[in-house]
A and B are shown apart, each in its own frame.
Chain A
Amino acid sequence: MQERLKELQAEALEKVAQAADLKELNDIRVSYLGKKGPITEVLKGMGKLSPEERPKMGALANEVRDMISGAIEEKQITLEKAAVEKKLAAEKIDVTLPGRPVSEGNHHPLTRIIEEIEDLFIGMGYTVAEGPEVEKDYYNFEALNLPKGHPARDMQDSFYITEEILLRTHTSPVQARTMEARNGKGPVKIICPGKVYRRDNDDATHSHQFTQIEGLVIDENIRLSDLKGTLDVFAKKMFGADREIRLRPSFFPFTEPSVEMDISCKMCGGKGCGTCKGTGWIEILGAGMVHPNVLEMAGYDSKKYTGFAFGMGPERIAMLKYGVDDIRHFYTNDIRFLKQFSVTE
């Protein structure tokens, strides 16, 4: 009996060692250690043994059983590891293949510029005011010190619907409306973005529809120096901290004094080049101190209140900032154009 056990042990261990996969191993387990296995079979003959021999033989049988199951366990770990390795090897992929694209859209470059400017001025305590694109002549012109017959408001330059109604030619009427709504009280701190329309033939530098952002601040003691400081903050944020600004006298009917703001040319650093036509400066926007007639018409006491206003074109800013060479791109919506503005700067 003892020999039979030893034999079984040797035989089982041999088979375990030979087992090629987990299934085979499991078969070995079942066939040797199962209830109907040979060891159980051998132990059935225990009854024939003397009482002294029985525990010995029992111990031996357990020993054999443990040996086999130990071997199986060890083999199982080895085989499992091998199986995992095999599986992993089979699962190998080419990590250099392109990933699944996450298709995200993006906002239009003009929105990008407008929101950037909105956020900048919101940070300085401004709110964003909006108004109708179809406007009354009064708000578009008269309230802005452009009385009827003024050369700057020629019928030829605007899209009129009736004699009194037109497509706004600038976003300034929003300023006039806002001032009127405040009943002559300050402070007013707004910026007004929006679409505007002029009778221009569309070409590389003209568009019959374009956008504008205007700003207006009215309070007691608003100074030209405040305008200069505000525009300096704006220019450095939009065009880079190394940019310088300069103000030049200009003329707008609704401001007095009126100025134009230039920024130093990025391309040449102010030395003069083709981009800045040799001047070292690039014209960005028009501004000025709100004309007393405009204040009075909106119900403000021009002795007490002063204010500044500025207006700029997001198209021009985008063209300068991103080097866009044709204003029509903004309205053609060529996907190859739109997609270029997905990147963060």
Chain B
Amino acid sequence: MLVSYKWLQEYVDLSGVSAEELGEKITKSGIEVEGVETLNEGLRGVVVGHVLECEKHPNAEKLNKTLVDIGAEEPVQIICGAPNVAKGQKVAVATVGAVLPGNFKIKKAKLRGEVSNGMICSLQELGIEAKLVAKEYSEGIFVFPEDTEVGQDALALLGRDDQILELGLTPNRADCLSMLGVGYEVGAILGKDVKLPEPAPTTASEKAADYIKVNVEAKEDNPLYVAKVIKNVKIGPSPLWMQSRLMAAGIRPHNNVVDITNYILLEYGQPLHAFDYDLLGSKEILVRRAKQGEEITTLDDAKRTLSEDHLVITNGTDPVALAGVMGGANSEVNADTTTVLLESAYFTGPVIRKSSKDHGLRSEASARYEKGVDPERVHPAAERAAELMAKYAGGEVLEGSVVADTLSVEPAVVSVTLEKINRVIGAEVSMQQVEDIFAKLKFESTVDNDTITVTVPTRRGDITIEEDLIEEVARLYGYDNVPKTLPIGASTPGKLSEYQQKRRLVRRFLEGAGLYQAVTYSLTSKDKATQYALEKRDPVELAMPMSEDRSLLRLSIVPQLLEVLKYNLARQTDSMAVYETGAVFLKQDGEDLPLEEEHLAAAVTGLWENHQWQGEKKPVDFYVVKGILEGMFAKLGLEDKIAFAAAEKDGMHPGRTAEVSLNGEVIGFVGQVHPTVQKDLDLKETYVFELNLKAVLEAGTEPLQYQAIPRYPSITRDIALVVDKNKTAAELQNIIVEVGGKLLKDVYVFDLYEGERMEEGKKSIAFSLKYFDPEKTLTDEDIAKTHEKVLKAVEEQAGATLRG
């Protein structure tokens, strides 16, 4: 809502409060003022001029040479390019020295050899938005009424010496979609009275009831309909001040009758509609739901097909307006209109919202009906409009209104105790203060001991329960006056859950290992949704996606991270390591909600180690990424519960991929992205993993137990085993560990040889075995037996021979 500071003064005394101060006060106590705009900011030197002479420019087809009286001693010559400039007009002249929007300074100039002492202005040139300029002036200069005094400040005359407060209204404050509503709000804030207009149109002897009958069939949608008839109107421009106010509020002027309906809409918040009575084609108004397939052409010349969801005003048979949204073209007020049928009605929100939405048509009227108008303003608004039509359109208002009224409105009566008010706010407000606040709001209240009972005017439909009253007290008491306290009560231990703590540990570990955390979108395309999924499931699909790319919920994170790598690689990054933790979504049969599983994924490409001037460069490989996982599992105390096994997976390198299992259950995979996928995405060698993080974090761990520091030395035996190429290190190690028993403290691979010195199909793999006894110093004899058994076992079970 755009509120004119000058107009507002008609309802509330604003003396001593500047527009900026008022904006600040309104913001602090209820409605956010998003800006205060000074309309003539930076503009000066524009006066009303009288075009004394106007002839074609001798050297330019499209220019005119005019002589303009600007109230100075001598008239001045001005060259004007506007097509509609003519002798005798009163116009806005930017004189030499004037400044127009954009800091455009007017100087004496020569145009095609002719001197021009200024510029005759269009409204657009004076800073008014083109869409707000009345149609007749939209392509040229603006023309003032004939009787306008020459030499006066044209900007003031156009109401540009004003400031506009832009109110950002929350949906509950529809009452402030009117000047009167804002008047009440400002009156309450400043503690001032509100002056209401008191419409009292003088009426003709003829009765409106003799001209029109009103029937409402759809009583639920339209419980109150008021019709008035104004005869003998003369259609013409509305007064300049009214046009100015409309433009300042963002409404384009049309003619006096239409402008008056819009003016009342702004003043009362009550939408009105003016029909050309003679074009109605009947003496009847019937309000009903539209018939399926019924059509209407609205004022914007659009043909609209209606349904039973929409409410229409008809002449008994055909629609003449889409109720509460827009009038029909067939009954539009036009230059020849002489009798106006004025509608002031109360339509309920839902039906108007439906119409407005279905037809993609939001009007000033529909916006107000959707949020609810004040039923008590339906009659006064009609009277006020009729009065103005008599005054500014020369009309005769027929006696009485024709009314269909099934509306029962009772103002809400709400009680609250002072104790509750203070208990919720946490301040010490007195009953006197509370009473004063409601008095300022012009709400009637009575006090009985500790309880105040408030009768809420219908204009404030947002107030229905005691909390609403408390809010009114709080905001007018002032949030600045509310003390700052902290909750008192039973203390609650603040902590992360074990799961949350471990998740942070995982993140910190990965970051310490060199990975950056990424956050990507959960919504993805059909192709990517199921790629690299740990489990084959149908993806969850949106009912109405905004785009194909964001139409399904992901089942895995890896595809998103590959996109991240692709993006960065295209931007001069060669090496990159990212990880993400986040939910993936698995459809569940028989369940409303999908299963949300937290996953951990990573993608690494390029150089893993790179010490530039020392020339050390090591690209990432499988074992780098596996090492990160092993380190992470060790940190979580899960190293003994995790196993890696060769696996094949779509989109992964068949020889460089392992599945990861936890306690025997597969929980993820790690490996190189398949070279064809790499190529498709313009990636170089890239390694990824994805794990069910939830399973990892929820896996039970052993309690931490101190192990005695060894007091005796251990004995190490290194063995190089020659085995078939396809024997895995894990197979051999498992045999060694099993046979090594208690004495074998540790075993690890320290060498791998697959070179040409080996027999075809064989490789050599070397283990270091550490034997240890916590009770004594071992001798070679102590371990000889066990070591022999180990060698025998690997030979028997894995065909391993000791490398000579």
B494 touches A225 (CB 8 A): no
Say whether B347 faces chain A, with CB atoms less than 8 Å apart: no
| Chain B residues with CB below 8 A from A152, complex form | 171
A162 to B541, CA, bound (A): 9
B517 touches A107 (CB 8 A): yes
Min C-beta distance of B316 to chain A, whole Å = 32
A197 touches B522 (CB 8 A): yes
A223 touches B425 (CB 8 A): yes
Stretch of A31-39, A50-58, A72-80, A246-254 with 4 or more beta carbons under 8 angstroms from chain B: A246-254
Say whether A126 faces chain B, with CB atoms less than 8 Å apart: yes
Say whether A275 faces chain B, with CB atoms less than 8 Å apart: no
B515 touches A165 (CB 8 A): no
| The residue from A101, A134, A292 contacting B596, defined by CB atoms under 8 A apart | A134
Residues facing A in B593-631 (CB within 8 A) are 593-594, 596, 610-614
B567 touches A332 (CB 8 A): yes
Kindly supply a per-residue 1/0 record for chain A positions 165-204, scoring 1 wherever the CB is within 8 Å of any chain B CB and 0 otherwise. Answer: 1010000000000000000001101000001010101000
Stretch of B138-146, B217-225, B335-343, B465-473 with 4 or more beta carbons under 8 angstroms from chain A: B465-473
Say whether B434 faces chain A, with CB atoms less than 8 Å apart: no
Say whether B370 faces chain A, with CB atoms less than 8 Å apart: yes
B585 touches A134 (CB 8 A): yes
| Chain B residues with CB below 8 A from A199, complex form | 546
B514 touches A219 (CB 8 A): no
| The residue from B32, B171, B483, B553 contacting A260, defined by CB atoms under 8 A apart | B32
Stretch of A11-19, A63-71, A226-234 with 4 or more beta carbons under 8 angstroms from chain B: A226-234
| The residue from A121, A209, A339 contacting B522, defined by CB atoms under 8 A apart | A209
User: In the complex, what residue of chain A is closest to B516 when comparing beta carbons?
Assistant: A105
A109 to B307, CA, bound (A): 51
| Chain B residues with CB below 8 A from A167, complex form | 522-523, 542, 553
A104 to B512, CA, bound (A): 5
B488 touches A100 (CB 8 A): no
Min C-beta distance of B79 to chain A, whole Å = 39
| Chain A residues with CB below 8 A from B488, complex form | 221, 226
Say whether A264 faces chain B, with CB atoms less than 8 Å apart: no
Say whether A239 faces chain B, with CB atoms less than 8 Å apart: no
Min C-beta distance of A29 to chain B, whole Å = 38
Residues facing B in A209-268 (CB within 8 A) are 209, 217, 219-226, 228-230, 232-233, 246-251, 256-260
A225 touches B482 (CB 8 A): yes
| Chain A residues with CB below 8 A from B500, complex form | 128, 130
Known contacts A159-B542, A256-B467; A128 and B496 CB within 8 A of each other = yes
Say whether B423 faces chain A, with CB atoms less than 8 Å apart: yes
A122 touches B494 (CB 8 A): yes
Kindly supply a per-residue 1/0 record for chain B positions 565-606, scoring 1 wherever the CB is within 8 Å of any chain A CB and 0 otherwise. Answer: 001100101001111001101000000111010000000000
| Chain B residues with CB below 8 A from A344, complex form | none
User: In the complex, what residue of chain A is closest to B560 when comparing beta carbons?
Assistant: A333
A104 to B373, CA, bound (A): 61
Residues facing A in B455-492 (CB within 8 A) are 465, 467-468, 470-471, 474-475, 479-480, 482-492
A296 to B332, CA, bound (A): 51
B593 touches A134 (CB 8 A): yes
| Chain B residues with CB below 8 A from A100, complex form | 611, 614
A132 to B592, CA, bound (A): 12
A332 to B568, CA, bound (A): 9
B522 touches A195 (CB 8 A): yes
Query: Main secondary structure on chain B at its contact with chain A?
Result: mixed
Say whether A125 faces chain B, with CB atoms less than 8 Å apart: yes
| The residue from B465, B495, B511 contacting A107, defined by CB atoms under 8 A apart | B511
B522 touches A133 (CB 8 A): yes
A217 touches B487 (CB 8 A): yes
B517 touches A127 (CB 8 A): no
| Chain B residues with CB below 8 A from A135, complex form | 593
A246 touches B171 (CB 8 A): no
| Chain A residues with CB below 8 A from B519, complex form | 108, 110-111, 330-331, 333
| The residue from B427, B492, B515 contacting A225, defined by CB atoms under 8 A apart | B427
User: In the complex, what residue of chain B is closest to A191 when comparing beta carbons?
Assistant: B494
User: In the complex, what residue of chain A is closest to B579 when comparing beta carbons?
Assistant: A105
Known contacts A126-B492, A128-B497, A335-B576; A221 and B423 CB within 8 A of each other = yes
| Chain A residues with CB below 8 A from B517, complex form | 105-108, 111, 338
B491 touches A134 (CB 8 A): no
Stretch of B22-30, B121-129, B237-245, B272-280 with 4 or more beta carbons under 8 angstroms from chain A: B22-30
A97 to B615, CA, bound (A): 13
B482 touches A247 (CB 8 A): yes
Min C-beta distance of B731 to chain A, whole Å = 34
B542 touches A233 (CB 8 A): no
A221 touches B578 (CB 8 A): no
B424 touches A306 (CB 8 A): yes
B479 touches A259 (CB 8 A): yes
| Chain B residues with CB below 8 A from A332, complex form | 567
Say whether A316 faces chain B, with CB atoms less than 8 Å apart: no
A103 touches B514 (CB 8 A): yes
Say whether A274 faces chain B, with CB atoms less than 8 Å apart: no
Min C-beta distance of B163 to chain A, whole Å = 14
A330 to B519, CA, bound (A): 7
B521 touches A161 (CB 8 A): no
B487 touches A219 (CB 8 A): yes
| Chain A residues with CB below 8 A from B200, complex form | none
| Chain A residues with CB below 8 A from B699, complex form | none
| Chain A residues with CB below 8 A from B485, complex form | 223, 225-226, 228-229
Kindly supply a per-residue 1/0 record for chain B positions 518-555, scoring 1 wherever the CB is within 8 Å of any chain A CB and 0 otherwise. Answer: 11111100000000000000001111111000100100
For the A-B complex with A224-B426, A226-B426, A228-B426 known, give 4 more contacts whose Cβ atoms are closer than 8 Å: A107-B517, A159-B544, A189-B487, A338-B518
User: Top 7 A-B pairs ranked by shortest CB distance?
Assistant: A225-B426, A223-B426, A251-B170, A257-B471, A229-B484, A247-B479, A122-B494
A: which residues have CB within 8 A of B? Answer: 97-98, 100-101, 103-108, 110-111, 115, 118, 121-128, 130, 132-136, 149, 151-152, 155, 159-162, 164-165, 167, 186-187, 189, 195, 197, 199, 201, 208-209, 217, 219-226, 228-230, 232-233, 246-251, 256-260, 277, 279, 289, 291-292, 306, 330-336, 338-339
